[in-house]
Amino acid sequence: MNNSIVVVVLASAVAYGTPLLYAALGELLAERSGVLNLGVEGMMLVGAVMGFLAVQRVGGPAGLVLPVAIGVAALAGAAAALILAFLVITLRANQIVSGLALTIFAGAAGLSSYIGNDFNLADNPARYSFGPVNLFGLQDLPVLGPVVFGQSWLVYASWLCVVAVGFYLARTRPGLNVRAVGESPAAADAMGIAVTKYRYLHTLAGGAFAGVGGACFSLALTPQWVDGLTAGAGWIAIALVIFAFWRADLCLVGAYVFGAFSALPFTLQARGVTITPQLFQALPYVMTIVVLVLVSSGIGKRRLGAPGSLGIPYVREER
């Protein structure tokens, strides 16, 4: 039963959706503070290459090296996000242009590619990688075994992150403050909330999540480094936040839907199904375009619940 195509696709959807989930959670935090981060793709690639570099160069057992690599990937993503935050928060540059510029700078033909080529990372597979674990010894349980109990530690950590981010935004004072900053920074400022501080911190947190999402590719899904490894996953993550109505729990659902679309071609190929794989590979991107078009209008933003000041810079003098 566990080898049926439905179970295999479901299990693969969880694995392939995990990088999207991390990146979407980061984008959710940034957008809730009013910062539209279109540099997610570049941050994921920087996180992927730096995490892979750490695995190749840091000595020690896998149990030590892999967490260090994830930490390095998170720091690399946060560093890239710091550039974006300085541009759009301090200098009040256009958020769309700045995000696109960062993706070009750090993307497949930019910084990540330079680092990969300079350290010859493409020549060798990863020394260590995150593989499936047999959680509670239930991996062989029918249906739920491979889907729930046979995933990597990165998957289980992402579930904890969903709970933490959802609780933070809905139940904690800092979370409510950041939502106030995203809705009306002038009103939040009048209440004594440090708008600039909140936007910086949540943009950096978003970059760290994106870096971890990129590391999911280079350390788990395809434990190697090639230029453009994330293949546009950052753009899907941005659309995923809209698809999820800016809610952490729905980010998880949406990530696995997009993950299923990504995993389906490989599953069908493995079973000899001759449907053109490009058709299924294009589906996530088609859905991304549709979602972005739907939300691009002001009416769409209001109905979907977008933060009221998303993409709008703020300085105290403009109150």
Query: Could you give the percent of the chain with pLDDT greater than 90?
Result: 59
The reported pLDDT for the residue numbered 3 is 76
Measured distance CA(24)–CA(161) in Å, rounded: 11
Measured distance CA(48)–CA(51) in Å, rounded: 5
What are 289's two structure tokens?
């375009």
260 to 4, 251, 267, 278: CA distances (angstroms): 15, 14, 10, 14
pLDDT, tens digit, for every residue of 255-274? 998 888 888 777 777 777 66
pLDDT, tens digit, for every residue of 145-170? 889 999 999 999 999 999 999 999 99
For tokens 């009306």, name the residue: 184
pLDDT, tens digit, for every residue of 105-141? 987 678 999 999 999 888 788 999 999 999 888 888 8
Domain ranges of the chain: 5-297
Domain 5-297, CATH class in plain words? mainly alpha
State the amino acid at position 121 in one-letter form.
L
- pTM, entire model: 0.92
Instruction: Give the CB-side neighbour count of residue 159, counting CA atoms within 13 A.
Output: 9
Measured distance CA(294)–CA(304) in Å, rounded: 10
pLDDT, tens digit, for every residue of 9-39? 899 999 999 999 999 999 999 999 999 999 9
pLDDT, tens digit, for every residue of 200-248? 999 999 999 999 999 999 999 989 999 889 888 998 899 889 888 899 9
The reported pLDDT for the residue numbered 313 is 87
